Amino acid sequence: MRVARFGAASAALALLAGCGAARPAEKKTDTPAAVAASQAAGPVVASFDCAKASTALEKLICSDAALAKADRDLAAAYAAALKQTPAEWRDRLRDTQRGWLASAAAACKADASSCAEYFESRTQALGDTLSAKGGREFVTLTTYHATRDPDLAGPEDDPALWETARLQISRPDAEERRWNAMVAAGLDRIMDPPPVYGGEGFVDLASVAPGFIGARLHRVHVRGPGGESHQIISVPWSLKLGRALTPADVFVDPAAAKETVARLAFEQYRKDGDADSSVTLETFRTLTAYDRYWNYEAAGLSLAFDDDNEFGGAHRALTLGTTIPWADLAPYLRKDLPFDLKALRDIG
């Protein structure tokens, strides 16, 4: 989770460097010895010419050696990300950097120690721009917006960062473009309305194989220190069908498969040393919302279903994390599955 409270930020001018999303540390007061050591170390070197620093943000970077180093590291990370990112995504990467700069400029305060932490976090995020799973390359571009808690007021009210990390297949074919569009639209929906205070939206991948991508869309909403809600939508997506899977796409008899999943999940629950011995199968189904939500996770295949959901084959609850042997549900699986079952099993 990378929700940030700005304590300070600055423009990394030469390469549009940006701040990150870690929570700032307590403000540190330099000792006289530390100040003397810093002065003895010579002039501060940032990613731009400090002799030409004119804005408060530029001067902040040039006043602190640690922040200047973080600025240089961030500029290098941005340059590397820009070079490695496929050409069709570079303009969007530049746009996200400009968007971050606007948010930082609107929210920053002159606190070099906090600012350095933001730079370090953003550097890490830029390093994660490209990723790979299941033989596919993905690109993640993050947008930023500064928000404030309406219950707090005054000059000490620190803004919080609302960020949305948009994961996409980097070089999509026609089928994969439909998945990209679904994820983009899904993130827009899950982040609407945007968090009042701070939060983030992001995508993580449960399973990736030929013909299938199991993704989870997350919305984390932070309302002031210590307050947080987390919503997850799981989307088991068939590239062949161009939509999220439903139980009928996977099982010959979805109702019977659902009963088996519930029973096996309950049996595994009872084996847990911390399980409540008074819980029955029926109360377990109620507690875990099995009347509406159910999931099947085995050998790399992660499916989660909710018949009511707008995605058709998604659900709005945390999965149980139940792992069920293939043999227990094999009799219910369709022979014409719209994905490569063997590839998924190999991944697992």
Comparing 346 with 169, which gets the higher pLDDT?
Answer: 169
Q: What is the average pLDDT across 61-74?
A: 90
Percent above pLDDT 70 for the chain? 66
* Burial (Cβ within 10 Å: 0-12, 13-18, ≥19) of residue 263: middle
Residue 156 and residue 108 in contact, taking contact as beta carbons nearer than 8 Å: no
What sign does the dihedral 219-221-225-226 (CA atoms) show? negative
Residue (of 124, 119, 163) closest to 12 by Cα position: 119
206, 207, 212, 218: CA torsion to nearest 10: 10
For residue 272, give the 3-state DSSP assignment: coil
Q: How far is CA 115 from the centre of its chain?
A: 22
pLDDT at 313 over 70: no
Average pLDDT score over the chain? 73
The pLDDT, as a whole number, for residue 160 is 67
Per residue in 19-67, pLDDT (tens digit) is: 333 333 333 444 444 444 444 455 789 999 999 998 777 888 899 898 8
Residue 237, CA distances (Å) to 81, 167, 297, 306, 347 in order: 28, 15, 15, 14, 17
Residue 143 makes CB contacts below 8 A (sequence gap 6+) with 96, 99, 100, 163, 164, 166
Comparing 95 with 251, which gets the higher pLDDT?
Answer: 95
The pLDDT, as a whole number, for residue 197 is 74
The pLDDT, as a whole number, for residue 88 is 95
Residue 42 and residue 50 in contact, taking contact as beta carbons nearer than 8 Å: no
Per residue in 95-105, pLDDT (tens digit) is: 998 887 777 66
Using the 8-state DSSP alphabet, how is residue 279 labeled? -
Residue 81 makes CB contacts below 8 A (sequence gap 6+) with 93, 126, 127, 129, 130
For residue 230, give the 3-state DSSP assignment: strand
Q: Which helix (H) or strand (E) holds 86?
A: none
Order the strands of the 130-133 sheet from edge to edge: 130-133, 136-147, 160-169, 198-209, 212-222, 228-238, 243-244
Distance CA 18, CA 123 (A): 8
Per residue in 260-272, pLDDT (tens digit) is: 777 877 887 787 7
The pLDDT, as a whole number, for residue 184 is 94
Per residue in 135-163, pLDDT (tens digit) is: 899 999 988 877 765 555 544 556 667 88
| Domain residue ranges of the chain, discontinuous segments joined by + | 1-127, 247-311+319-347
Comparing 309 with 224, which gets the higher pLDDT?
Answer: 224
pLDDT at 174 over 70: yes
